[in-house]
């Protein structure tokens, strides 16, 4: 019986935590112990620090950690993308070398995919990797790289062959960020935050053994990374609990979390903060304006309907029924909601929307909404890309005509600032 098995696991992990969990340990020491016993990533293979547990079994472990207030593996941010990709596509040596410090939190990682010249069209990337002896030499620029400023390693896609069609000439690498040829600069956004970086490669080096998969296989492997990314960053449950608990290990953990989550503090504002609208309108009297009432109802109604649509899709999936790829519909809904929420916040604020910063409404949260929602219809695939996906994959309309199917060398590309075509 599955239930018996779950109970067995709960008992085992509970007993183990009773014997070993100690708030006086250092975080590093505790995580080493977790990795040793396979509790850091129970869903991973036994050969690589895990226990071969299925989803339900791993969830049972997480639940017991939560109940006992125990801290789990470090898996915040891009390290999760790297570890999941390496588990699927990495060599044995790569897995042994890189996975453990991701789990213990010793190494932060970053994702080096987007480029100034290839946003929606990621496969049009022009960062070069050239084989010289037993190394790859990297030249080019990446952008939108969260955590790159404190990352030890990066997962990188770069072009290794210019004479084949674009998707076939890309390779996937692990790159050491601590080397002279890698320069990381913060990228400041229109809302004042600098949650991302630009990364410049000038003859940076990657040892041959850090190619992931084979040469030219990079696009397929990047697909694995992107699918993990699309599942979102589900924060482990012990994190939420541990923040309110006391003991040296929690202090250390909270510091780690603060650094890991810092780039994401404005993300709720990016979604429009529909949750604040009604109270704000009541508080400042805007609720008496019939136009505000209409627009407010639209924002609240859209948000509620989008939640219901997502729940309906999830329920169908659980029941084994066919679901149209609703991810793109949900993403598009989020953009519509954020735009409408921005509009209503502005109506409610009136002239107060002239101000920003800690002394402005709700300590600057409202201003941050007004300056952050434009990101939601761009990040993670623009609205226009989502509409292509919906109309082609859900509605079955013909695909857009392509002008980039020949050898990449001949494909029209952006002109760089020096006046030359990139690459």
Partner 1 sequence: MAFSEDQQQFADVAERFFGDKSTPTEVRRLMASDVGYDAEVWRQLAHEVGLTGTHLPEAYGGFGFGAVELGITCQAMGRHLYCGPFFASSVMAAHAVLNNGSEAQREALLPGIAAGTSIAALVLDDLSDPARVGMSIQADANGRLSGAAQLVADAHVADLLIVAARAADAVALFMVDAAQPGVKVTAQNCLDPTRRMARVQLDDVSAERLGNGPADLSLLWDQMCTALAHEMVGGAERLFETTVEYMKMRVQFGRVIGSFQALKHRCADLLLELELARAATHEAARYLATGAGDAFAPNLAKALASDAYISIAKQAIQLRGGIGFTWEEDTHLWYKRAKASEVFLGTSNWHREEMIRRMEVAHGG
Pairing type for strands 170-176 and 211-212 reads: antiparallel
Closest approach, Cβ 405 to partner 1, in A, equals 17
Site for partner 1 in 242-281 (CB under 8 A): 278
Residue 386 sits in the site that holds partner 1 (CB under 8 A): yes
In terms of C-beta density within 10 A (0-12 exposed, 13-18 middle, 19 or more buried), how is residue 124 classed?
buried
Closest approach, Cβ 374 to partner 1, in A, equals 19
Closer of 93 and 315 to partner 1 (Cβ) = 315
Residue 340 sits in the site that holds partner 1 (CB under 8 A): no
> How far separated are the first and last CA of the chain, in Å rounded?
58
Site for partner 1 in 292-311 (CB under 8 A): 293-294, 296-298, 300-302, 304-306, 308-309, 311
CA distances (Å), origin 277, targets 291, 296, 304, 344, 376: 14, 7, 13, 7, 18
Closest approach, Cβ 3 to partner 1, in A, equals 24
Residue 237 sits in the site that holds partner 1 (CB under 8 A): no
Q: Quick one: which of 20, 9, 204, 175 has its CA closest to 94?
A: 175
Give me the helix-helix angle, 2-20 and 55-68, nearest 10°.
40
Q: Which residues contact 213 (CB under 8 A, 6 or more apart)?
A: 89, 171, 172, 220, 221
Q: Which two tokens stand for residue 354?
A: 């002239």
Count Cα atoms within 13 angstroms, Cβ side, for 423: 21
Residue 412 sits in the site that holds partner 1 (CB under 8 A): no
With CB under 8 A as the contact rule, the residue among 258, 282, 283, 379 that binds partner 1 is 282
DSSP string, 280-317: HHHHHSGGG-HHHHHHHHHHHHHHHHHHHHHHHHHHHH
Closest approach, Cβ 412 to partner 1, in A, equals 18
Closer of 116 and 380 to partner 1 (Cβ) = 380
With CB under 8 A as the contact rule, the residue among 24, 358, 400, 420 that binds partner 1 is 400
With CB under 8 A as the contact rule, the residue among 34, 333, 371, 376 that binds partner 1 is 333
Residue 283 sits in the site that holds partner 1 (CB under 8 A): no
Residue 285 sits in the site that holds partner 1 (CB under 8 A): no
Stretch touching partner 1 by CB under 8 A, among 153-161, 219-227, 332-340, 353-361: 332-340
Residue with tokens 């071969």: 52
Site for partner 1 in 173-212 (CB under 8 A): none
Number of residues that bind partner 1 (CB under 8 A): 43
Distance CA 295, CA 395 (A): 30
Distance CA 136, CA 217 (A): 15
Distance CA 103, CA 28 (A): 10
Closer of 249 and 344 to partner 1 (Cβ) = 344
Q: Quick one: which of 114, 76, 113, 80 has its CA closest to 98?
A: 80
Closest approach, Cβ 391 to partner 1, in A, equals 4
Residue 395 sits in the site that holds partner 1 (CB under 8 A): yes
Residue 393 sits in the site that holds partner 1 (CB under 8 A): no
With CB under 8 A as the contact rule, the residue among 387, 405, 410, 421 that binds partner 1 is 387
Closest approach, Cβ 267 to partner 1, in A, equals 22
Stretch touching partner 1 by CB under 8 A, among 35-43, 153-161, 225-233, 390-398: 390-398
Residue 332 sits in the site that holds partner 1 (CB under 8 A): yes
Q: Which residues contact 392 (CB under 8 A, 6 or more apart)?
A: 398, 399, 400
Closer of 304 and 409 to partner 1 (Cβ) = 304
Closer of 344 and 375 to partner 1 (Cβ) = 344
Torsions phi, psi of 137, nearest 5? -110, 125
Closer of 96 and 317 to partner 1 (Cβ) = 317
* Helices vs strands, H then E, count in the chain: 14, 8
Distance CA 94, CA 97 (A): 5
Residues that bind partner 1 (CB under 8 A): 278, 282, 287, 290, 293-294, 296-298, 300-302, 304-306, 308-309, 311-312, 315-316, 318-319, 321, 326, 329, 332-333, 336, 384, 386-388, 390-392, 394-398, 400-401
């Amino acid at each position: 019986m599955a239930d018996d098995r779950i109970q067995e696991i709960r008992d085992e992990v509970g007993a183990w935590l009773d014997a070993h969990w100690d708030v006086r340990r250092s975080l590093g020491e505790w995580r080493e112990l977790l990795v040793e016993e396979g509790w850091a990533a129970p869903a991973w293979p036994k050969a690589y620090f895990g226990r071969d547990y299925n989803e339900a079994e791993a969830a049972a472990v997480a639940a017991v950690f939560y109940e006992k207030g125990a801290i789990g593996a470090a898996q915040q941010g891009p390290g999760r993308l790297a570890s999941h990709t390496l588990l699927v596509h990495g060599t044995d040596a790569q897995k042994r070398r890189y996975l453990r410090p991701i789990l213990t939190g010793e190494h932060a990682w970053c994702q080096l995919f987007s480029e100034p010249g290839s946003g929606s069209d990621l496969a049009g990337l022009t960062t070069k990797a050239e084989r010289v002896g037993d190394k790859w030499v990297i030249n080019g620029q990446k952008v939108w790289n969260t955590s790159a400023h404190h990352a030890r390693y990066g997962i990188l896609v770069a072009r290794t062959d210019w004479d084949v069609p674009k998707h076939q000439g890309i390779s996937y690498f692990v790159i050491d960020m601590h080397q002279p040829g890698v320069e990381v600069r913060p990228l400041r956004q229109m809302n004042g935050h600098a949650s991302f970086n630009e990364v410049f490669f000038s003859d940076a080096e990657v040892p041959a053994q850090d190619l992931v998969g084979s040469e030219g296989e990079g696009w397929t492997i990047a697909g694995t990374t992107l699918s993990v990314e699309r599942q979102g960053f589900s924060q482990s449950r012990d994190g939420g609990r541990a923040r309110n608990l006391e003991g040296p290990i929690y202090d250390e953990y909270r510091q780690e979390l603060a650094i890991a989550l810092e780039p994401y503090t404005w993300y709720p504002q990016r979604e429009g903060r529909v949750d604040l609208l009604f109270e704000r309108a009541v508080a400042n009297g805007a609720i008496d304006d019939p136009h505000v009432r209409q627009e407010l109802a639209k924002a609240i109604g859209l948000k509620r309907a989008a939640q219901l649509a997502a729940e309906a899709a999830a329920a169908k999936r659980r029941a084994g029924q066919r679901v149209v790829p609703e991810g793109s519909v949900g993403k598009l809904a989020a953009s519509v909601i954020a735009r409408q929420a921005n509009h209503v916040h502005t109506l409610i604020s009136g002239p107060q929307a002239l101000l920003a910063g800690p002394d402005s409404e709700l300590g600057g949260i409202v201003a941050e909404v007004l300056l952050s929602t434009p990101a939601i219809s761009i990040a993670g695939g623009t609205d226009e890309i989502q509409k292509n996906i919906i109309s082609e994959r859900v509605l079955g309309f013909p695909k857009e005509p392509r002008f980039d199917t020949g050898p990449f060398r001949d494909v029209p590309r952006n002109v760089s600032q020096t006046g030359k075509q990139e690459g």
